[in-house]
Amino acid sequence: MIVATGFEAGGHRVSFLREPEDCLTGTLSLVPQVVDTVKVPVIAAGGMADGRGVAAALKLGASAAQIGTAFLACEESNAHPLHRAKLFSADAQRTSLTRAFSGRLARSIHNEFIDAFRDQERQLPPYPVQSPGNARVTDETAAVRILAPTHPIFTFPNRITSADFDDWVQERNLYSFGSFDARYTALLESADPGEPPQRGGEVIADVGKGKYVYTSYAWFRQLRAGVPGAYRQFANLISLPKAP
């Protein structure tokens, strides 16, 4: 079976072939297109909260309908009472699409948090990440393992080795990703003595026709201190668009 989810659905948007913003098809338009294309049962989802929506979905050829937000109002959903009350408030009449919560496009009841991040959404990571507290490696002598040694970020224009992490000052990294979506590739691994290894200090991901790189290694300290290996690595980072 296939779940055909229209853009009216609450929560995160699902998309596979293109960015979510390019896949905002309404449920009533999407369902008959999917029904006419596949030979398996289609479940309609998105924007349905009562029998009228279910009847419409079945009329369009769906084998079943999936209701989500309406069930959050039930005590059995374990949703917080404030959340359930908000669903019946005047605020619930306005919803918005935003990336502010997790980096993924999602529909939510409009609120001040969405407004506050409206101009900063493009600065958010393109795919979900979690950064609990300030994950960092404070020992500037901690071993650093290169996880993708053949990646251009370590080969062009300079061949980067473990020696390029010698003579660092004060710390290795700070504000690393704690966990991250599988579409990111971890590039480096390091850890303070006795701590579990951290792989969220430098990651890369394909985004459209470009690359997204997040690096929390302390370049601002190393470059100021004239650490040769840091200059070599930073040159590679900014040369990535020209790498073969």
CATH number for the domain that contains residue 84: 3.20.20.70
Predicted pLDDT at 70: 87
Between 126 and 141, name the one with better pLDDT: 141
Whether 222 and 146 map to the same domain: the answer is: yes
Identify the DSSP state of 198: B
Whether 46 and 105 map to the same domain: the answer is: yes
Do the Cβ atoms of 41 and 64 come closer than 8 Å?
A: yes
User: Structural domain tally of the chain?
Assistant: 2
pLDDT single digits (tens) 2-42:
999 999 999 888 777 777 888 899 999 999 999 999 999 99
| Host domain of residue 10 | 2-123
Whether 86 and 163 map to the same domain: the answer is: no
Whether 170 and 154 map to the same domain: the answer is: yes
pLDDT single digits (tens) 101-110:
877 889 999 9
What tokens does 104 get? 């993924």
Q: Which of 82, 105, 123 is the last residue of a domain?
A: 123
Q: Which of 90, 123, 156 is the last residue of a domain?
A: 123
Q: CA-based diameter of the chain, in Å?
A: 70
**Exposure of 89 by Cβ count < 10 A (0-12 exposed, 13-18 middle, 19+ buried)?**
exposed
pLDDT single digits (tens) 74-102:
889 899 999 999 999 999 999 999 988 87
Q: Which of 79, 98, 123 is the last residue of a domain?
A: 123
218 contacts: CB under 8 Å, gap ≥ 6: 168, 170, 171, 172, 173, 174
137 pLDDT above the threshold of 80? yes
> Angle of helix 27-37 relative to helix 51-59, nearest 10 degrees?
30
The rounded percent of the chain whose pLDDT value lies above 70 is 100
